[in-house]
Amino acid sequence: MANETQTIKPMTHGTTNGVNGANEILSEYLEKRSDLHERMTKDPSGKSVIEWYDGEASLYDDQFDHANFIYHKDTAKAINDFVKDKNAKILDFAAGSGKIGVLLKGYGFSNMDALDGSVGMLELAEKKGIYKKYIACMVGPEKIPQIEDATYDALSCGGSVAKGHLTYSTIQTMLRTVKPGGYVVFSCAGWNFQFKEFSREKLEACFEDLKKRDLCTFVEERASYHIGEEPGFIFILRRGNAVLNGH
Ligand SMILES: C[S@@+](CC[C@H](N)C(=O)[O-])C[C@H]1O[C@@H](n2cnc3c(N)ncnc32)[C@H](O)[C@@H]1O
């Protein structure tokens, strides 16, 4: 297993989708992504990552749309596969500019809230008019002050369980927002597994702990791609009955 002192394998960036101007947008995107990756690996507090999203929010959608991201489609699809009630109350966790919300709306869901640590990204999401509520909150292992436990029927989280973003300890935070029996679906790029705090072993230990405490059952792991041919994974958990007290 690699550690911080070893060479960090760079994340690949996928390809353009071939539309006019895609090459320029992609080179701008690649430049900005390497800055983001530097922040992800060097600032464990995640603050400089949020500053990056705030600063780049206006460009995010354009760049995203010219890169070959896949995780958001597979995350939304998994929600649609498991959540049968189209009126289900869904929290899009670290929703960013609302890419997953757009897809969920396409599947017929209409009762969604967005949460994100970046106000700039939430403003972008708000322009799309997909979500009912916009919750600005930097998430950690603690309870989210603005959300009562067991509020949601399901939760989606795409592209955000990652180095410098949401750590594995936030999986418990996600679970507590969901009602017993509700689904939590999140993606994780395989790139993260090279870091010792994001190793597969750590993730599996986290799932074991959550299962033992009846916070969730493990439903399924799906092989996916994060971007281009960069491997990614979709994890589907089901909320257990345990109640968490306090923070
Ligand atoms: C790669 S973007 C993904 C956004 C969206 N889910 C999508 O698929 O386009 C990651 C998002 O996570 C948010 N984020 C990162 N760390 C966070 C934290 N600790 N608390 C809340 N949001 C965070 C960022 O602001 C950003 O909007």
pLDDT (tens digit per residue) in 17-38: 444 455 666 566 667 777 887 8
Q: What is the pLDDT of residues 158-178, one digit of tens each?
A: 999 998 899 999 999 999 999
CA 237 to centroid of ligand 1, rounded, Å: 20
Q: Which of 6-10, 30-34, 139-143, 222-226 has the lowest mean pLDDT?
A: 6-10
> For residue 140, which atom of ligand 1 is closest to its CA?
19
Regarding the beta carbon of 158 and ligand 1, being less than 6 Å apart is answered yes
Nearest CA to ligand 1 atom 17: 165
* CB 211, CB 184: distance < 8 Å: no
Looking at residue 24, its pLDDT comes to 66
- Average pLDDT over every residue of 134-151: 96
pLDDT at 3 over 50: no
> For residue 97, which atom of ligand 1 is closest to its CA?
9
CA 19 to centroid of ligand 1, rounded, Å: 26
Measured CA to CA in angstroms, residue 48 lies from 42, 169, 193 at distances of 9, 19, 21
Nearest CA to ligand 1 atom 8: 158
CA 29 to centroid of ligand 1, rounded, Å: 17
Looking at residue 164, its pLDDT comes to 87
Regarding the beta carbon of 226 and ligand 1, being less than 6 Å apart is answered no
Nearest CA to ligand 1 atom 19: 139
pLDDT at 93 over 60: yes
Which of 137, 165, 198 has most ligand 1 atoms within 8 Å of CB, for mutation? 165
Q: What is the pLDDT of residues 102-139, one digit of tens each?
A: 999 999 999 999 999 999 999 999 999 999 999 999 99
Regarding the beta carbon of 79 and ligand 1, being less than 6 Å apart is answered no
Nearest CA to ligand 1 atom 9: 99
